[in-house]
Amino acid sequence: MNIAIISGSVRQGNVTQRVAAWVEHAAKAALPEAEINVINLGELNLPRFEDAMPPMMNADRHPEGALKQWLDALAAADGYVFVTPEYNHGMPAALKDAIDQIDHQITKKPFVVVGHGGVGAARAIEQVKLVLNANIGAVPVPNSVNVFGYVGMENSIDEQGVAQTEAVKGAEGPLTGALETLAWYATALKTARG
Ligand SMILES: Cc1cc2nc3c(=O)[nH]c(=O)nc-3n(C[C@H](O)[C@H](O)[C@H](O)COP(=O)(O)O)c2cc1C
């Protein structure tokens, strides 16, 4: 089983990559048999979506460079953890733009959303669930994970992805539960896709 963790901020010095590292540690512990890969959108440097055609309707698309890397990494995975901050009560524009460039690489595959921020990115998480399920047809699992508070200001997760506060440590149980649910759906849906 291959699980991709997507770090959804491209902001310089962003803290989402710390949250993604925290998820990576938990995924390696909870799913020891799985291959875990982190896709850091901040490092990937995807071009902005400017195609004339929607990806789903463009059979002649020949992705290159960072876009090819993004799509190939998604296609290789059986399940996903999208890690998002909350910007103005939504997901960052760069994450939405990256999602808009997907066609069928994640269709009928499950995903979990982990969010951080003042209200645990609750509103951004709902957006990510909606847009990934809408046309693209990825499958949201019931669990989401909220990291409440400002990771950067509170230093609640260090740069190695280790929890530094009781609040974040308290979210590790729900995170492990969500990863186990993700693995269950990944196995079931892989079998169903044949
Ligand atoms: C443009 C912008 C809008 C923001 N809006 C919200 C918000 O609506 N809710 C929230 O909890 N935090 C908000 N924040 C604070 C972010 O949670 C905080 O800056 C966090 O570090 C952003 O994640 P990043 O460092 O990975 O980019 C906002 C930050 C930015 C830069």
- pTM above the 0.95 mark? yes
146 CA distance to ligand 1 middle (Å): 14
Best mutation site among 6, 86, 95, 148 for ligand 1, i.e. most ligand atoms within 8 A of its Cβ? 86
User: If you take atom 22 of ligand 1, which residue's CA is the nearest one?
Assistant: 85
> Domain count of the chain?
1
List the residue whose alpha carbon is closest to atom 28 of ligand 1.
Answer: 87
Q: Which residues contact 157 (CB under 8 A, 6 or more apart)?
A: 15, 18, 19, 21, 22, 147, 151, 163, 164, 168
User: At 20, which CATH number?
Assistant: 3.40.50.360
- Ligand 1 nearest-atom number relative to CA 19: 26
- Position 73, amino acid: A
Which residue range forms the structural domain that includes residue 19? 2-193
Q: Which residues line ligand 1 (CB under 6 A)?
A: 9, 11, 14-16, 85-89, 117-119, 150, 152
> How far, in Å, are 23, 63, 66, 143, 184 from residue 114 at the CA level?
8, 28, 24, 9, 18
pLDDT in tens, the chain (194 residues): 999 999 999 999 999 999 999 999 999 999 999 999 999 999 999 999 999 999 999 988 999 999 999 999 999 999 999 999 999 999 999 999 999 999 999 999 999 999 999 999 999 999 999 999 999 999 999 999 999 999 999 999 999 999 999 999 999 999 999 999 999 999 999 999 99
47 alpha carbon, distance to own chain's centre: 18
User: Helix-strand-coil percent breakdown of the chain, rounded to 5?
Assistant: 45, 20, 35
